[in-house]
């Protein structure tokens, strides 16, 4: 069982199965929401248990996507494609070791200029064809 939490601990969560390799999204919306680029793993919604979900504020960032953050401390936690059966969980919020590395970088055409991508994971200007 993998465990995670926001900075203040008002929201905690568990993931009941091994994580899929995460992606790093460099799009403008992810950068603004997270403060840098957003690295998340896609988790089946049935495998995610959230405690303190009354402390999550959801921001609808596009017609089919909402982003969840802790209303107390502001930690970016979730990227939710509302109509899908999975949810992106922020890798930075895990408290337990994850055992995986970033598998792919996406939307590098919107990357900011102050950093370079320093690993060998494949890079896509928008999104790669699924499955990643
Ligand atoms: Zn919090």
Specify the CATH number for the domain of residue 14: 2.170.150.70
Full residue range of the structural domain in which residue 102 is found: 2-110
Distance 70 CA to ligand 1 centre (A): 5
* Planar angle of CA 54, 62, 2, nearest 5 degrees: 45
Let me know if residue 121 belongs to a domain: no
Model confidence band, residue 112 (pLDDT cutoffs 50, 70, 90): very high
Is 73 within the bounds of a domain? yes
Rounded to whole angstroms, the Cα distance separating 25 from 121 reads: 12
Count of structural domains, the chain: 1
**84-101 pLDDT per residue, tens:** 999 999 999 999 999 999
Q: Which residues surround ligand 1, an ion (CB under 5 A)?
A: 6, 8, 10, 70, 72-73
Report if residue 118 sits inside a domain. no
How does pLDDT run across 38-55, given as a tens digit for each residue? 999 999 999 999 999 999
| Residue 23, domain member (yes or no) | yes
Does residue 99 form part of some domain? yes
User: Does 125 map to a domain?
Assistant: no
Return the SS3 of 16: coil
Are 36 and 51 a contacting pair, CB within 8 Å? no
On the question of pLDDT at 115 being above 70, the answer is yes
Cα 73 to middle of ligand 1, angstroms = 4
- From the list 79, 73, 128, 91, the residue with the least C-alpha distance to 4 is 91
pLDDT of residue 130: 64
* pLDDT surpasses 60 at 132: no
Residue 94 lies in a domain: yes
Residue 117 lies in a domain: no
For the chain, what is the mean pLDDT?
A: 95
């Amino acid at each position: 069982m993998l465990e995670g939490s926001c900075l203040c601990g008002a929201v905690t969560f568990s993931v009941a199965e091994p994580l899929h390799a995460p992606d790093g999204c460099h799009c403008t919306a992810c950068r603004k929401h997270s403060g840098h680029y957003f690295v998340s793993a896609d988790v089946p919604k049935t495998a995610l248990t959230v405690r303190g979900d009354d402390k999550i504020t959801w921001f609808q960032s596009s017609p089919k996507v909402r982003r969840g953050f802790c209303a107390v401390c502001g930690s970016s936690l979730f990227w939710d494609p509302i109509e899908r059966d999975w949810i992106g969980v922020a890798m930075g919020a895990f408290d337990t070791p994850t055992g995986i590395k970033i598998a792919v970088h996406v939307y590098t055409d919107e990357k900011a200029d102050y950093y370079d991508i320093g690993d060998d994971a494949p890079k896509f200007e928008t999104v790669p064809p699924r499955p990643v």
